Amino acid sequence: MTSKTIKVDYLTRVEGEGSLFLRIDKDKVTEARLNIFEPPRFFEAFLRGRSASEAPDITSRICGICPVAYQMSAIHAMERAARIRIEGPLRDLRRLLYCGEWIESHALHIFMLHAPDFLGFDDAIAMAREHPDIVQTGLSIKKAGNSIVECLGGREVHPINIRLGGFYRVPQISELEALRDTLKRARDDMERVIDWISKLPFPDVSRDYEFVSLRHPDEYPMNEGQIVSNKGLEIDVSAFDDTFEEEHVPHSTALHAIIKGRGAYFVGPMARFNLNFAQLSPLASEAAKRTGLSEGCTNPFKSILVRAIEVLFAFEEALRIISIYERPEAAHVEIDPADATGWAATEAPRGLLYHHYKIDPQGRIETARIIPPTSQNQKIIEDDLKTVAQHFIGLSDDELKWRCEQTIRNYDPCISCAAHFLTLNIDRASEGL
Amino acid sequence: MSAVPNRKLAVWKFASCDGCQLSLLNCEDELLQVAAAIDIAYFPEASRAMRGGPYNLSLVEGSITTKADAERIKTVRAQSQWLVTIGACATAGGIQALRNGRDVREFASIVYAKPDYIDTLETSTPIADHVSVDFELRGCPINKKQLLEVISAFLAGRRPAIATHSVCLECKARNAVCVMTAKDEPCLGPVTQAGCGAICPAYGRGCYGCFGPMEQPNTGALSKKWQALGAKPRQIHDAFRSFNAEAPAFRAEANLYDE
Ligand code: SF4
Ligand code: SF4
């Protein structure tokens, strides 16, 4: 074999529009690219001049799969600018809301987007013909996550009840109690189905990664914490801009986030899991041990199992929060940031999501910067593609293509999120579409 | 298992957040039934299988913001018996239409290191500006029950039963307290099309118009009411310029308050 290229012109079962390009010279993979042709929407530009209070509703429209993540990073950044910390039940409710989004987003990915790869199905609907029980269970788990978002947020996609300082309306104890049975049932279903997931055929590939996530002394990280890595990084979120940068690589028009002076890093469920294993809830850490997962997992294909563990965690955490909930008197604290700068990083389902705002004296946004998880993972994904394609070089083109797609899906990439800030390769003609 | 249904559905994406197409996957209880009633032949976000056209029903999410997409939507139209736009992006240009009338090169340079590489049009425009559309479903995002109604109506060969009156009537239907009367809270409900079930007022907040203008909205009267409640011109302007900024009725009202 001399040289050839392998292309997937339109990546499927990912959020947004991207393509894959691989060059192979004499059985050696020489180039791997994840191209993004999602049209830009310019959020950072049109946020300028809008009231700081609008940031959560506007930025949620960057992504319909993880709108809560955008709302959470936006409100925490604005609260930081106003130098106000939200504690107590309002803080707990935000965590509960995030549990709902993690469950909904992870379940979508596990059962509808990723599992079909391991078993050779085109989609969950085809998979449902042979594994009806798994797909039905997956859908009901997803629905349980959505029921939390709907209760606290008003609706599943782009919740309307989140504002700076808290909520427009906080639930009655009875409204949360009403979720309890559904969540318990779904938690038990998840526990059962984890054993099925753990028996999927995982390719035996692993790499040495720098994992990056938040870490919090008292809890598995969601809304708060320091940014840490398995290679000694330990910084306050305020040092984000000094620590990370976007690198412009010559082979592509995409910007890749790297740790200054060190290189690519890995964010998302596997990073959180590896860096916060001790903070998992009892059932979740027990399930991890039972299925052979331990701290320091470096096989990216096992991310599906890690997501499943996080779903189990999120159910337990949601049930814990519901059991201690006391309805606060005020649904929100008044927050009016002005003439200030604020930033925050929270753990979106797909990993670290950083927002940075400068607010003018009238309380309007002067500048906005948003760095979503998929942008941060892009370089790691391309490096993985090289390793995996090399590992499976003997496969037919079609099989190799599918393996590469599966490799990309390990990261549950959200290209819609990434595109508003990545520089784009829109050369559709030469990329095939 | 039953045979593959003979009618074909396609789901297309243009500039958008994916939230409207996700609404189909959020029909957890009905998804497999939908798949049994109509062949989901092209839905890249959910399936690797990309069965070719023609399609009996195409759901189109997102707005047109690039030259390539302005061409692609024509090929979608050519392959589709029915074309339904889903959501504010596809129906009114979406939040990304805030670029319209601004310097898009400057916008690109704010976000991108190499703005020259960005292939983008000056405007974000609705699908109906480019091809004929058989039905427009509102919302940012759409309501999934309304989506199921559109699909069922198509399968039954009838017009979807989607109300075009205001959010106010939905407030009354669910016995929600009017936030403008009770809390002096500015609300776009009186001029916004129903469909969400009046979620915002039910949570004690004013509607921010994510379903776009109702049929013949009295936006002028509402702006006066907002001013009486103490709203500044800038606030009124921004309220009409959000997720449905390019819907003609909202754009016209916003222009009156442009400073
Ligand atoms: S209308 Fe709103 S929810 Fe739908 S795709 Fe556009 S931004 Fe997303
Ligand atoms: S009340 Fe208005 S802003 Fe709120 S969901 Fe309904 S249409 Fe959208």
Indicate if B136 and B251 belong to the same structural domain. Answer: no
CB contact under 8 A, B20 and A168: no
Domain range for residue A150? 43-376
| Closest Cβ–Cβ partner in A57, A156, A426 for B68 | A426
Q: What does the pLDDT read at residue A125?
A: 92
The list of chain A residues with pLDDT below 70 reads 1-2, 14, 248-255, 416-433
The 3-class SS string of A291-333 reads CCCCCCCCCHHHHHHHHHHHHHHHHHHHHHHHHHCCCCCCCEC
Instruction: Tell me the C-alpha distance between B46 and B61, whole Å.
Output: 14
Contacts of A116 in chain B (CB under 8 A): 48
Read off the pTM.
0.95
Domain assignment present for B137: yes
| Closest Cβ–Cβ partner in A13, A39, A154 for B199 | A154
Tell me if B171 CB under 6 Å of ligand 2.
no
Chain B contacts in chain A segment 127-166 (CB below 8 A): 128-129, 135-136, 139-140, 142-143, 146, 154-158, 160-161, 163
Q: What does the pLDDT read at residue A249?
A: 57
| Closest Cβ–Cβ partner in A61, A139, A142 for B140 | A61
3-state class (DSSP) for residue B167: helix
| CA of residue B16 to ligand 1 center, whole Å | 6
For chain B, the domain total comes to 2
Q: What is the CATH number of the domain that holds B100?
A: 3.40.50.700
Is there a contact between A9 and A432 (Cβ–Cβ < 8 Å)? yes
- Taking only the tens place, the pLDDT of each residue in B93-103 is 999 999 887 77
Evaluated on CA atoms B71, B47, A411, B62, the torsion sign reads: positive
Position A194: which residue type?
Answer: I
Domain range for residue B146? 8-156
What is the distance in angstroms between the Cα of A229 and the nearest Cα belonging to chain B?
28
Indicate if B21 and B141 belong to the same structural domain. Answer: yes
Instruction: Tell me the C-alpha distance between B153 and B34, whole Å.
Output: 12
% pLDDT > 70, chain B: 95
CB contact under 8 A, B14 and A39: yes
Indicate if B27 and B136 belong to the same structural domain. Answer: yes
What is the number of the ligand closest to the CA of B138? 1
DSSP state of A263: B
B254 in contact with chain A, both atoms CB, cutoff 8 A: no
3-state class (DSSP) for residue B35: helix
| CA of residue B211 to ligand 2 center, whole Å | 6
DSSP string, B119-182: ---S--B-GGGTS--SEEE--SS--HHHHHHHHHHHHHTS------SBHHHHHHHTTPPPHHHH
Indicate if B49 and B89 belong to the same structural domain. Answer: yes
Q: Best substitution site from B18, B125, B140 to test ligand 1's pocket, by max atoms within 8 Å of Cβ?
A: B140
| B125 DSSP β-pair partners | B64
Q: Kindly provide the ipTM of the predicted complex, given to two decimals.
A: 0.95
- Where a domain ends, among B156, B179, B196? B156
Indicate if B48 and B130 belong to the same structural domain. Answer: yes
A42 in contact with chain B, both atoms CB, cutoff 8 A: yes
Tell me if B209 CB under 6 Å of ligand 2.
yes
Domain assignment present for B72: yes
B162 in contact with chain A, both atoms CB, cutoff 8 A: no
A251 in contact with chain B, both atoms CB, cutoff 8 A: no
- Where a domain ends, among B156, B187, B217? B156
CB contact under 8 A, B111 and A15: no
Q: What is the CATH number of the domain that holds A326?
A: 1.10.645.10
Indicate if B148 and B65 belong to the same structural domain. Answer: yes
Q: Among B8, B11, B12, B26, which would you mutate to test the A interface (most chain A Cβ atoms within 10 Å of its Cβ)?
A: B26
Q: What does the pLDDT read at residue A414?
A: 77
Tell me if B19 CB under 6 Å of ligand 1.
yes
Q: What does the pLDDT read at residue A392?
A: 93
Nearest of B233, B235, B120 to residue B187 by alpha carbon: B235
Domain assignment present for A266: yes
Domain assignment present for B161: no
Q: What does the pLDDT read at residue A35?
A: 78
Q: What does the pLDDT read at residue A431?
A: 32
A65 in contact with chain B, both atoms CB, cutoff 8 A: yes
Q: What does the pLDDT read at residue A248?
A: 59
| Closest Cβ–Cβ partner in B40, B96, B202 for A41 | B96
Q: What does the pLDDT read at residue B222?
A: 98
Q: Best substitution site from B13, B17, B85 to test ligand 1's pocket, by max atoms within 8 Å of Cβ?
A: B17
Indicate if B44 and B147 belong to the same structural domain. Answer: yes
For chain A, the domain total comes to 1
Instruction: Tell me the C-alpha distance between A235 and A225, whole Å.
Output: 9
Residues 6+ apart with CB under 8 A from A289: none
- Where a domain ends, among B156, B180, B197? B156
Q: Tokens 């996700």 correspond to what residue?
A: B22
A9 in contact with chain B, both atoms CB, cutoff 8 A: no
Q: What does the pLDDT read at residue B116?
A: 58
CB contact under 8 A, B110 and A128: no
Indicate if B148 and B198 belong to the same structural domain. Answer: no
Instruction: Tell me the C-alpha distance between B133 and A226, whole Å.
Output: 50
Tell me if B207 CB under 6 Å of ligand 2.
yes
What is the distance in angstroms between the Cα of A198 and the nearest Cα belonging to chain B?
23
Computed over every residue of chain B, the mean pLDDT equals 93
Domain assignment present for B3: no
| CA of residue A183 to ligand 2 center, whole Å | 27
Which of A254-258, A388-392, B81-85, B189-193 shows the lowest mean pLDDT across its residues? A254-258
CB contact under 8 A, A42 and B16: no
CB contact under 8 A, A108 and B25: yes
